Amino acid sequence: MKQFFLASILAGAIALPAFAADYKIIAPANPGGGWDQTARTLQTVMQSEGISGNVQVVNVPGAGGTIGLAQFASQDKGNPNALIVGGYVMVGAILTNKSPVTLKDVTPIARLTGEYEAIVVPASSPFQTFGDLVEALKKDPGAVSWAGGSAGGTDHITVGLIAKEAGVDPKKINYIAYSGGGEALAAILGAQVSAGISGYGEFESQVKAGTLRLLAVSSEERIEGVDAPTIKESGLDVVVENWRMVAAAPGLTDEQKAAVSADVEKLVKSAAWQEQLKTKGWQDTYLSGAAFDEQLAKDVSATEGILKEIGLVE
Amino acid sequence: MNTFEFLLQGLLIAAQPMNLLYALIGVTLGTAVGVLPGIGPALTVALLLPVTYQLDPAGSLIMFAGIYYGGMYGGSTTSILLNTPGESASIVTALEGNKMARAGRGGPALATAAIGSFVAGLIATLGLAFIAPYIVKMALIFGPREYFALMVLAFVTVSSAFGDSTLRGLTSLFVGLALAMIGIDQLSGQARLSFGIPDLLDGIEVTTLAVAMFAIGESLYIAAQGDRGPDKIEAVRGSVWMSATDWARSWKPWLRGTAIGFPIGAMPAGGAEIGTFLSYAAEKRLTKHPEEFGNGAIEGVAGPEAANNASAAGTLVPLLTLGLPTTATAAIMLAGFQQYGLQPGPLLFATNPQLVWGLIASLLIANLMLLVLNLPLIGLWVKLLSIPKPWLYAGIMLFATLGTIGANPSVFELGMLLAFGLLGYAMRVFGYPIAPVVVGLILGPLAEQQLRRALSISQGDLTTLVASPVALVLLLIAAAALIVPLILRARGRGQVLSQLAASED
Amino acid sequence: MTNGTKPADVKRRPDWAALVIAAVLAVIAGVMFWDVSRLSGAAGYSQVGPTTVPYAIAVCLLGLAVWTVFEAWRGDFPEREHQQLGPVFWIVAGLAAQMLLLKVAGFSIATGLLFAFTAAGFGQRKLWKTIPFGIVFAFAVWVVFSKLLQLSLPAGPLEHLFF
């Protein structure tokens, strides 16, 4: 019996390289969340498009994705078949959690999807335009309470940037952090807070039903089919996109990196991926290569600056 | 078409033989996975959701409903039989249910849980169908200060799960509260009590703590009794069925549990476990058999199980009417609905009535299937107890760790499982109750966050906490629940209390 | 469980184990004070900041420690039944083995050991039988959950042999 097991262990060790062509995707979050869904959608499409025969998704949740990132950077170093899903939230989490591993320690491949921030007020609110809200903020920052996601997340950062651009000390904003989108939305609908901020998708159905008033979105230009001005139009230079990306392991050769990039490009261009984006309501904001690296660097420095000003990072 | 016609049409579709079969498969799968400690309804639904994608929309919706109900009911089975609740909502069920199982009354305990779940599911689903818009309006009145008041009330009533010593009950509760402080403070983003360990930044997972303290702690404790404990628990003493007395003692708790669970489930920050705590406390106050509480009172199973199921249906109220996913399970369901082209939100009932009523009909059918499947199975479940101990507990340990590994395969998480398992064991040895630790871990952060949110919104004005009528009433009830028994006990007039309680119903 | 109030056996003898519990509670409170004191108390607009609640809990834990000492002194703790520690060690060893081997040996082997050790803790000491049985059982569970239900359970040499 013992020999059988020894033999099987040995055989297993030998058999291992035979599976090396298959991708492994780390979802640095719990099953069910946004990153997990992205990873599992990648898995489905990669398999159905024949990009990879067998894709495994591994959940490594915790601390805004930084635990998964750290594990990925150390354990999968040089592995050309390992990918990790991540996003803008990671940029902030790396800073607030003082994570020793940053996005510089992995090989970002491409931005896949993204969502813009939306600022809403309950239908009964006295604020008719974004300008009204900013005026109130300037007059008494404490009197304007904002409901959004966790402290130091995309929503918080956006409010900080708005305050800074409006000439208000970002430390003075009265930001009320909620854990899930649902709880924050309930607080906004119940007019417990002055305004709410989150990804547009969270508010879409309420805005269409007229129970929330959409004041502004954080995109560069107006979004098609969304009846609201950008924050930029009101004179505040704030553009924030909550994107999701896929990155490869550190220590890859240029050829290996190119091979992964080609696989990801093939995936993004496939009809199956476009179909998935449509059913899930995700925007296609594919960006790769040097353009993505440049945008990433810009986001990291802007985020670091504003987190310091809000007082979340020393 | 009016409401009734839509519902009737939905029921007709759901009652087609093929769809009934899907419902049965869903309930079976859901129960089979949900029965494992550490795998609650959220993970069950997440795991099994892809199975439903192969079917047509009506079929997949109905199978989905079956999985949901099955996953929820599965948790209570192991709580009752093995004292190993795998998720927070069935902790209270274990308190009395396991005592019943040990006395050979596992059959009636499982039956009252199943029938109570059915009754509560039925009433709450009808509530969802007909009064959802009103319930949701009420739920939106609840802001941070109202939630804070509700948490205070929950804290006060939790004392009924303390067991026989106030000191040890309070100690357990505060150990739970201290554990709750670990991790990033949500409102300020600062790490508390994490000692620079990244794995602690997200705090302690409730399921990890529950599985460790109950499943592992219990296994260790039983093992340490060595040969002294009975080798096999007598699985059935008396009838495996509920007796007439059991029925008479169960129906009121079912209804009260439903009445407590449904509105709390509908509140965006409620959560199923709070309903079960309140229901248990209510039953303990109202019972005519107070001496049985702690030794296996059937009311203590019937009420919380009904509350649990009613609040699960309640969760669908904000989900369907507002698109608000208020629990982990609801968030996964939302992802599921989107696959069926159902976009929850305020316009859903108007724009997509077929699907909504189809879902509600599916829930009703799945609920019925659960009863059909589980009542005959009770005899079989009870037999679980006659598996020889070495194999039974080896299996429990395997599945208890499976849930944790599946959610987060990290060595650190398993280390916590071991450490809290030992803590659970030590607490059993010294006579400390286990439930308050988990209760503290759940309620602590909720209460703290809501208090700080309320004060932040009012810019530091303390009077805001009592400025709303709802919050004031809840706080007054909490104060009364705390003070009245103390006064009565101080005067040695406990009799009066039980008479008062008896005359109330 | 009998309450330790029978005058014959308890002559106000302090209960040392209970005193240890009191000490542990006090230590937890101390750790909380120490850790929280390093946080910035910045509370924004609420006077209850991130440090207030931890401080309150720590103070209560200290109070409970004192109360525990008091009860321990009076011998108010219930009498404890004799515990056999052998079985407990078996199970703890099983959990530790699973924890340490999970990443290296994969789910089936690590969990198979836990299974066998737990069975040993409950008196089934024939490890040459229980270990293979546990591994096969755990492997079946791995196949169901990992392959059918897509749960990410760590794979090791045994799993790679088949998949």
How far from B288 is each of A209, B249, B294, B499, CA to CA, in Å? 50, 9, 14, 9
Q: What pLDDT is recorded for position B85?
A: 76
Q: What pLDDT is recorded for position A100?
A: 79
A307 touches A280 (CB < 8 A): no
Q: Tell me the H-state helices in B288-352.
A: 299-322, 328-339, 348-351
Tokens at B122, concatenated: 């039925």
What percentage of chain A reaches a pLDDT higher than 70?
90
The reply to whether residue C44 touches residue A175, judged by beta carbons under 8 angstroms, is yes
Q: In this complex, which of B185, B202, B324 lies closest to A185 when CB atoms are compared?
A: B324
Q: Which residue did the predictor score with more confidence, A21 or A265?
A: A265
Listed by number, the residues of chain A in 266-285 with a beta carbon closer than 8 Å to a beta carbon of chain B are 279-281
Collapsing DSSP to helix, strand or coil, A122 comes out as strand
Q: In residues, how long is chain C?
A: 163
Q: What pLDDT is recorded for position B339?
A: 64
Gap between the Cα atoms of B87 and B79, Å rounded: 9
Interface test with chain B among A189, A212, A275, by most B beta carbons within 10 Å: A189
What lies within 8 Å, CB to CB, of B132 at 6+ separation is B317, B320, B321
Listed by number, the residues of chain C in 18-57 with a beta carbon closer than 8 Å to a beta carbon of chain B are 18, 21, 25, 28, 31-32, 35-36, 39-40, 42-50, 53-54, 57
Tokens at A154, concatenated: 């995309």
For chain C, the structural domain boundaries read 16-74, 85-162
B65 touches B329 (CB < 8 A): no
The reply to whether residue C40 touches residue B190, judged by beta carbons under 8 angstroms, is yes
Q: What pLDDT is recorded for position A31?
A: 65
Gap between the Cα atoms of B92 and B273, Å rounded: 8
Q: For chain C, which chains pass the contact test of at least 3 CB pairs under 8 Å?
A: A, B
Judged on CB neighbours under 10 Å (0-12, 13-18, 19+), B154 is buried
Provide the ipTM: 0.88
The reply to whether residue B323 touches residue A209, judged by beta carbons under 8 angstroms, is no
Q: What is the DSSP letter of B90?
A: G
A120 touches A62 (CB < 8 A): no
Q: Is A53 on the interface with C (CB under 8 A)?
A: no
Q: Is A311 on the interface with C (CB under 8 A)?
A: yes
- The number of distinct structural domains making up chain B is 1
Listed by number, the residues of chain B in 26-45 with a beta carbon closer than 8 Å to a beta carbon of chain C are 33
B/e letters for A229-244, b = 16+ CB within 10 Å, e = fewer, are: bbbbebebebbbbbbb
pLDDT, tens digit, 9 for 90 and up, residues C113-136: 999 999 998 888 888 889 999 999
Count of Cβ atoms closer than 10 Å to residue B500 Cβ: 12
Gap between the Cα atoms of A314 and B272, Å rounded: 39
Chain mean position to CA B56: 31
Average pLDDT over residues C145-161: 79
pLDDT, tens digit, 9 for 90 and up, residues A243-253: 888 888 888 88
Tokens at B483, concatenated: 């003070």
Q: In this complex, which of A40, A56, A142 lies closest to C45 when CB atoms are compared?
A: A142
Tokens at A200, concatenated: 């547009």
Q: How far is C75 from chain B (nearest CA, A)?
A: 13
Using alpha carbons, select from B113, B119, B132, B439 the residue that is nearest to residue B315: B132
Q: Which residue did the predictor score with more confidence, C15 or C107?
A: C107
Residue given tokens 């919706």 in the structure block: B61
Tokens at B277, concatenated: 């705590």
Long-range (24+ apart) CB contacts under 8 A made by A30-35 are A30/A59, A30/A61, A30/B407, A30/B408, A31/A59, A31/B43, A31/B46, A31/B47, A31/B407, A32/B42, A32/B46, A32/B328, A32/B331, A32/B332, A32/B335, A33/B331, A34/A87, A34/A244, A35/A65, A35/A85, A35/A86, A35/A87, A35/A244
Q: What is the DSSP letter of B216?
A: I
First-residue to last-residue Cα distance in chain C: 53
Phi, psi of C153 (to 5 degrees): -105, 130
Handedness of CA A195, A198, A199, A204 (dihedral sign): negative
Q: How far is A290 from chain B (nearest CA, A)?
A: 31
Instruction: Give the amino acid at B480.
Output: A
pLDDT at C1 over 50: no
Using alpha carbons, select from A293, A295, A229, A239 the residue that is nearest to residue A116: A239
Look at the domain A2-114+242-310 and name its fold. Answer: D-Maltodextrin-Binding Protein; domain 2 (3.40.190)
Collapsing DSSP to helix, strand or coil, A248 comes out as strand
CA dihedral of B99, B366, B22, B29, whole degrees rounded to 10 = -20
The reply to whether residue A182 touches residue B330, judged by beta carbons under 8 angstroms, is yes
* Chain C residues in contact with chain A using a Cβ-Cβ cutoff of 8 Å: 42, 44-45, 128, 132, 135, 150, 152, 156-161
Lowest mean pLDDT among A150-154, B71-75, B331-335, C139-143: B331-335
Judged on CB neighbours under 10 Å (0-12, 13-18, 19+), A258 is exposed
- Checking phi first, is residue A160 left (phi over 0); if not, alpha (psi -120 to 50) or beta? alpha
Q: Is A7 on the interface with C (CB under 8 A)?
A: no
Q: What pLDDT is recorded for position B236?
A: 62
For chain A, the structural domain boundaries read 2-114+242-310, 115-234
The CATH H-level (homologous superfamily) assignment of domain A115-234 is Periplasmic binding protein-like II (3.40.190.10)
Tokens at B184, concatenated: 């990033």
B43 touches A31 (CB < 8 A): yes
Q: What pLDDT is recorded for position C135?
A: 92
Q: Which residue did the predictor score with more confidence, B45 or A85?
A: A85
Judged on CB neighbours under 10 Å (0-12, 13-18, 19+), B415 is middle
Where in the sequence is the domain holding B446, given as residue range(s)?
3-504
The reply to whether residue C157 touches residue A9, judged by beta carbons under 8 angstroms, is yes
What lies within 8 Å, CB to CB, of B390 at 6+ separation is C118, C119, C120, C121, C122, C123, C124
Phi, psi of B319 (to 5 degrees): -65, -45
Gap between the Cα atoms of B303 and B97, Å rounded: 11
Residue pLDDT tens, chain B, 505 long: 566 777 788 788 777 888 888 888 888 888 877 777 767 677 777 767 666 666 777 777 778 888 888 887 877 888 888 887 766 778 888 888 888 888 888 888 888 988 898 899 889 888 888 877 777 777 778 888 888 888 888 787 776 666 677 888 889 999 999 999 998 887 877 888 888 787 887 788 877 888 888 888 888 988 888 765 555 555 566 666 778 888 888 888 999 999 988 888 877 665 667 888 888 888 888 888 878 887 888 888 999 989 988 888 888 887 777 766 667 677 777 767 766 666 666 666 766 777 778 788 888 888 888 888 888 888 877 777 778 888 888 988 888 888 788 777 788 889 999 999 999 999 988 888 888 888 888 888 888 988 988 988 888 888 888 888 888 988 888 888 777 767 766 665 545 445 444 444 4
Gap between the Cα atoms of C98 and C100, Å rounded: 6
- Checking phi first, is residue B2 left (phi over 0); if not, alpha (psi -120 to 50) or beta? beta
Residue given tokens 């919104």 in the structure block: B457
How far from A285 is each of A26, A268, A288, CA to CA, in Å? 21, 10, 10
Q: What pLDDT is recorded for position B496?
A: 47
pLDDT, tens digit, 9 for 90 and up, residues B462-491: 888 888 888 898 888 888 877 776 776 666
Tokens at B448, concatenated: 């703290």
